[in-house]
Amino acid sequence: MHPVVRTVLQRLGLGLVTLFVVSLILFSSIEFLPGDFGEAVLGQAALPETVAAFRKELGLDLPMHERYWQWLKGMLTGDMGNSFSGRGASGQDRSRPVVELLGPRLANTLFLAAMAAVISVPLALFLGITAALYRNSIYDRTVNALTLTTISFPEFFVAYCLILILSSFTKIFPSLANVGPETEFWERVYLTALPALTLTLVIVAHMMRMTRAAIINLMASPYIEMAELKGTPKAEIILRHALPNAWAPIVTVIAFNLAYLVVGVVVVEVVFVYPGVGQLMVDAVTTRDVPVVQGCAMVFAATYILLNLFADIISIITNPRLLHPR
């Protein structure tokens, strides 16, 4: 078996074990949370008997291991159960399958993440490489200062600044990113411009600094010195000799930031009213809609594991020493 394939399979297996452990931790930590969905949803109408009837209807009266087993079985077959909410005060069952709730929102979140990645990754690489190329020049300092400034501000501040400048004063982009299932592609791009830009400003510094540092680190190695001595132009030294060896740390940071784009954009979603997973999960936590919280958390965990796997594979492929181990 090719070593890369073997590593991928190995990592996938380990990923599944990790997911299982995550599910255990998740389930038991939710168990320790105070409060109860019945009381949260019934509010003023929560009489002891209605709460008890509610718990029974939702199967919350069963012991914990039974509920865990039920849930795990469902997860394995792709059924995340039904949401708790929607069985609200009116007493009617309008609860929807978690998959149905999560699906379109996950698509939205992935779209926004992709938008932000398409802008920020090339930008960060370009800035990082050029900053390394013109190290300690005014250009390098300016880029560093700017990106560090944008990363230092909280997301909502960056978001409100962008709204103020690009939406209130100049009306270039809308401040509401309320996309729907049948929003057309370019319309969608236009609507998500501000959130994507916000995310770009927030993550670009991390990736750019890493690219710069990794390349500068390599510039001190003997083989680069050799290339310099034989008169290779500086740009070629960086692109042909330094960059291939710098991919591993860069890709790790990129994967980390992509994962953040998927799981950590709650604030940006709220500010722009973007119907993504983050908002869904926060709403679910406040209403104690446990199946939705669990579903979201599992999706997030899987995203992290997959993106890290992806980063590992890239580092193996770009590194001949790992690709052809002795």
CB of 93 to another protein, least distance (A): 8
Pick between residue 41 and residue 307 the one whose CB is nearest to another protein. 41
CB of 319 to another protein, least distance (A): 46
What's the number of CA atoms in the CB half-sphere (13 Å) around residue 53?
Answer: 9
Q: What does the DSSP assignment read for 59-118? A: TTTS-HHHHHHHHHHHHHTT---B-STTS-TT------BHHHHHHHHHHHHHHHHHHHHH
- Nearest CA among 77, 72, 78 for reference residue 103: 78
CB of 296 to another protein, least distance (A): 14
CB of 110 to another protein, least distance (A): 18
The CA distance from 280 to 211, in Å, is: 34
CB of 89 to another protein, least distance (A): 6
Pick between residue 128 and residue 278 the one whose CB is nearest to another protein. 278
Residues binding another protein (CB under 8 A): 34-36, 39-40, 42-48, 51, 83, 85-86, 88-92, 94-96, 101, 163, 167-168, 171, 174-176, 178, 180-181, 270-273, 275
Pick between residue 177 and residue 311 the one whose CB is nearest to another protein. 177
Pick between residue 110 and residue 270 the one whose CB is nearest to another protein. 270
Pick between residue 177 and residue 243 the one whose CB is nearest to another protein. 177
The CA distance from 151 to 199, in Å, is: 10
What's the number of CA atoms in the CB half-sphere (13 Å) around residue 21?
Answer: 7
Q: What's the distance, Cα to Cα, between the start and end of the chain in Å?
A: 15
C-alpha triplet 315, 5, 245: angle, nearest 5°: 15
Pick between residue 235 and residue 273 the one whose CB is nearest to another protein. 273
Pick between residue 166 and residue 313 the one whose CB is nearest to another protein. 166
Q: Cα 252 from chain centroid?
A: 14
37 and 290 Cβ atoms separated by less than 8 Å: yes
Residue 216 burial (CB < 10 Å; 0-12/13-18/19+)? middle
CB of 218 to another protein, least distance (A): 45
- Between the CA of residue 278 and those of 46, 84, 148, 273, 285, what are the distances in Å? 29, 18, 25, 11, 11
Pick between residue 72 and residue 176 the one whose CB is nearest to another protein. 176
CB of 20 to another protein, least distance (A): 29
CB of 272 to another protein, least distance (A): 7
252 and 315 Cβ atoms separated by less than 8 Å: yes
